[in-house]
Structure 1
Amino acid sequence: MSDFDYDLFVIGGGSGGVRAGRVAAENGAKVALAEEFRMGGTCVIRGCVPKKLMVFASKFGPMTAEARDFGWEMEDGTFDWLTFRPKLHQELTRLENIYRTNLARPGTDIFDARASVKDAHTVELSNGRSYTAKHILVATGGRPFIPDIPGCELGITSNEIFNLDHLPKKILIVGGGYIACEFACILNGLGVDVTLWHRGPQVLRGFDDEVRGHISELMVEQGIDVRVGVTPSDVERRDDGRLRVNGSDDHHVTVNEVLWATGRKPNSDDIGLEEVGVELDRNGAVKVDDYSQTAVPSIFAVGDVTDRIALTPVAIREGAAFVETVFKGNPTKPDHELVASAVFTQPEYGTVGMTEEEAREKEKIDVYCAAFRPMQKSFIDRTEKALFKLIVSQKSQKVLGVHIVADGAGEMIQLAAVAVKMGATKADFDAAVAVHPTMAEEIVLMKTPTRAD
């Protein structure tokens, strides 16, 4: 008979926490999980899934004009947000129920309550109950960061954008990361007048510089007003209900809505972590070792709250590795190397491995790059260009990085990631016969470096 109520108590019902709790329960552990909001976490409820559905919706407007140029007779459509929104919420509810059902099936106890850590083996719930556990897993995710300026409360974040009663006629998006750029493209595609302010010199900091410039140019060509080097100073509500945002260098704009896309912070506040000895970094991320264990041996953490790689598949891998380590006696480190990702701008950006800048700091490289108008766009005389880029080690000839900006880049990069993860060389890419006519064939047709050290 165990001295604890549970073998594992998971705090947080997102992808990482649910995977860990479900797999541990399937392997015979007595598991409980507490979630204060909705099962599914950021990805399912207010992140990847609803965003991708909005991406799909936003593409149909521009496609109407392209269809006419291909010979179709059709009128410009009007997007009805109030038709789309209930269907969106219905899908999120369906997915949430799947998460809840799969978690409960192996016997996990689910508590719809906020949980905090009382001591190394005790979790206290907002309903007043407390439970003991041999192991505690913190999987509380992250939340949007809102700048502390006058009037900041008048804006919204990516959490609220899916629940708007109506789409604004004009919006200011503050930020230059992938969330800011994605929603700029989404809302622009849905017919919203979009202005984007970013404090840095270029959007998408941390990604490949050449790609950053390429995507920024595409956004501007689509009609998005991109302003870099601008920082908001305050927001004020006008008599007509609109918002005036004042910024640096005399920049100002009057809009119907302001979206803060200025980064995210780990959800580690006010849940008792530091009080019991768990260490946090300056940004609030839970410090863990290679096995996701904190400074308190019985407490582990996975997912965005650790601020390692804030991607849903990574959180799931971390949760699975935790179960292997703690409940299966198979010490397993989650693999954070060569993780592919996609930015759902329009067109998309898929990337795996190093940027040109990162690779150049480590060794001599060859860069293969091709920018071209895809067949679909050139036929109707559109200027939009796809971009394919390979970063190759001169010494080993291994492909160190792949970058694709094109329709379907997220799908392409998943397959390219397999090759890069296996250590493919440029010769391996060259040996593959092209699939013609496709955009993807460009990845095996670039024979001569555009730049070399």
Structure 2
Amino acid sequence: MSDFDYDLFVIGGGSGGVRAARVAAGEAGAKVALAEEDRYGGTCVIRGCVPKKLMVFASEYGTVAEDAKGYGWDIEAGSFDWGNFQQRLNAELDRLEGIYRNLLKNSGVTSYDARAKVKDAHTVELSTGETITAKHILIATGGRPVRPEIPNAELGLVSDDIFHLETLPKSVLIVGGGYIACEFACILNGLGVEVTQYYRGAQVLRGFDEQARGLIAESMIENGVQLHCGTDIVEMRRATAEDLEGKAATGVSMGASMQEMLADHSGGKPGEGPIFVKGTNGDVKVYDQVFFATGRAPNTDDMGLEGAGVKLGRKGEIVVDEYSATEVPSIYAIGDVTDRVNLTPVAIREGMAFVETVFKDNPTKVDHELIPSAVFTQPEFGTIGLSEEEAAEQEPIEVYATSFRPMQTAFAGRPDRVMMKLVVSKETRKVLGCHIVAPNAGEMIQLAGIAVKMGATKEDFDRTVAVHPTMAEEMVTMRNPVRSA
């Protein structure tokens, strides 16, 4: 008989934690429990990938009527009903959360709807007052969005708040230049919101391929996003009647009188009332909402980790080895809380590798190399491997690239451009990086990623017959390099 209540106790009900818990219980026969203080499904299902992608879909319908006319259809554009969409969105998230709960239940995992803290190497303490012991503890608590350290930052929204807005703002300032900021700039712009974006860097999507990020920025501006790079907030505060009466009121929804608006929204909660912002570029404006997409932090606060001997990194992330083990032999961590590769499929793989290592006597390292990913801007960006800049620093390369107007939107009279790019090693001929900026680039990069992961050469791509007429055929028809480095 075990000296512990459970063989495994998982803290966190997101994708990684749930997968590890149910596989350990269902396949390895372990006695498993899991604690989640919020909704099951974690960031991805409840307040990230899934609702965001549904919003992406919603935002893309705005141009359908106009495009259809180019193809001979007589369709009138309608208006977007945020309330109707939000109701359907919430129903879908409820459905998905139910699936996650049932997966755990059907695998024999005991669930605790409570916050869990680590008391020592084999003990967790729940917010209900219960103390539970386990032979192994797996921490999968994910991350959270953070606001910048500026005065009145609490007035602004973060990504968790977007899905709970009662009404869609007429104007919004998005602060940040990463993938979350750019995705929501495109989403909200597509839903009819007047979008301004501030980013203090020289170009959005830092760390990605330069040519790709340049094309995406151009497309965002062309589609109506007022993008200001090299710009940050100088002053931010709740708007006054004087602000609303002046020139700064441009873009603010004024459904109520100024007096009523200011009376109703005199508090300091995010999302309540117009916000005055002054930028380093000299712009002075009042916005319905300010949305911060300026970074995320691991959820390790007040969890008793350091007291139990678990080492934390500079950003609060749990430090683990290649097997997801901490310095405490019985405690492991996976997913965003470790701040390695913060992607849901990676967290799931880490959870599976953990089960193989700990419960199946098959030590398994997690492969974090050549992971395909997508940024759901408009157009989308799919990428795997090294950017042109990264590859050029590493070895001599050839670059094969093309940019063109795709048939579907060109026929409808839209100026949209797409880009296909392969970064190739001169010595080995292997494709070191593949970058696609195009509608459905996420779908394309998933398949291209298989070839790149397998070590395909440029000649392997060349030997592949094109599927015509498609955008993706350009990936196998680029015969001559456009430059070398």
Larger displacement relative to structure 2 (336-345 or 233-242): 233-242
Q: Specify which of 386, 403, 414 is matched with residue 446 of structure 2.
A: 414
Distance 1:35 1:233 in 2: 39
Tell me the equivalent position of 1:51: 52
Deviation at 1:277, TM superposition (A): 1.1
1:404 aligns with 2:436: yes
Structure 2 length-normalised TM:
0.92
1:298 aligns with 2:298: no
Deviation at 1:380, TM superposition (A): 2.2
Deviation at 1:169, TM superposition (A): 0.2
CA deviation profile, 1:13-43 (whole Å, cap 9, x unmatched)? 0001000000000121000100000000000
Q: Specify which of 294, 309, 315 is matched with residue 277 of structure 1.
A: 309
Tell me the equivalent position of 1:205: 206
Distance 2:312 2:68 in 1: 53
Tell me the equivalent position of 1:121: 122
Note if contact 2:68-2:412 (Cα within 8 Å) is conserved in structure 1: no
Distance 1:323 1:253 in 2: 53
Distance 2:444 2:113 in 1: 39
Distance 1:298 1:250 in 2: 55
Q: Specify which of 347, 351, 356 is matched with residue 379 of structure 2.
A: 347
1:371 aligns with 2:403: yes
Deviation at 1:307, TM superposition (A): 0.4
Tell me the equivalent position of 1:233: 234
Distance 2:166 2:335 in 1: 31
CA deviation profile, 1:110-167 (whole Å, cap 9, x unmatched)? 0000000000100000000010000000000000010121111111111010110010
After TM superposition, the runs of 4+ consecutive aligned structure 1 residues lying more than 6 A away are none
Note if contact 2:70-2:413 (Cα within 8 Å) is conserved in structure 1: no
Write the letter of the residue equivalent to 2:108.
Answer: G
* SS of equivalent residue, structure 1 residue 202: coil
Tell me the equivalent position of 1:331: 363
Tell me the equivalent position of 2:147: 146
Note if contact 1:152-1:234 (Cα within 8 Å) is conserved in structure 2: no
Tell me the equivalent position of 1:158: 159
Write the letter of the residue equivalent to 2:47.
Answer: R
Note if contact 1:5-1:131 (Cα within 8 Å) is conserved in structure 2: yes
* SS of equivalent residue, structure 2 residue 160: coil
Map 1:208-287 onto structure 2 (within 5 A).
Answer: 208-239=209-240, 240=258, 241-287=273-319
User: What value does the CA root-mean-square deviation take over the aligned residues?
Assistant: 0.8
Tell me the equivalent position of 2:340: 308
Tell me the equivalent position of 1:24: 24
* SS of equivalent residue, structure 1 residue 77: coil
Distance 2:14 2:179 in 1: 21
Question: Structure 2: 5+ residue runs without aligned partners?
Answer: 241-257, 259-272
* SS of equivalent residue, structure 1 residue 226: strand
Larger displacement relative to structure 2 (179-188 or 148-157): 148-157
CA deviation profile, 1:199-228 (whole Å, cap 9, x unmatched)? 111000110111111100000000100001
Note if contact 2:139-2:333 (Cα within 8 Å) is conserved in structure 1: yes
Write the letter of the residue equivalent to 1:396.
Answer: T
Note if contact 1:230-1:251 (Cα within 8 Å) is conserved in structure 2: no
* SS of equivalent residue, structure 1 residue 160: helix
Note if contact 2:429-2:458 (Cα within 8 Å) is conserved in structure 1: yes
Tell me the equivalent position of 2:65: 64
Distance 1:224 1:71 in 2: 29
Deviation at 1:291, TM superposition (A): 0.2
1:445 aligns with 2:477: yes
Deviation at 1:421, TM superposition (A): 0.6
Tell me the equivalent position of 2:108: 107
* SS of equivalent residue, structure 2 residue 108: coil
Write the letter of the residue equivalent to 2:361.
Answer: G
Tell me the equivalent position of 2:249: none
CA deviation profile, 1:322-369 (whole Å, cap 9, x unmatched)? 000000000000110100000000110000111001111110000001
Note if contact 1:150-1:233 (Cα within 8 Å) is conserved in structure 2: no
Structure 1 length-normalised TM:
0.99
Write the letter of the residue equivalent to 1:162.
Answer: F
1:392 aligns with 2:441: no
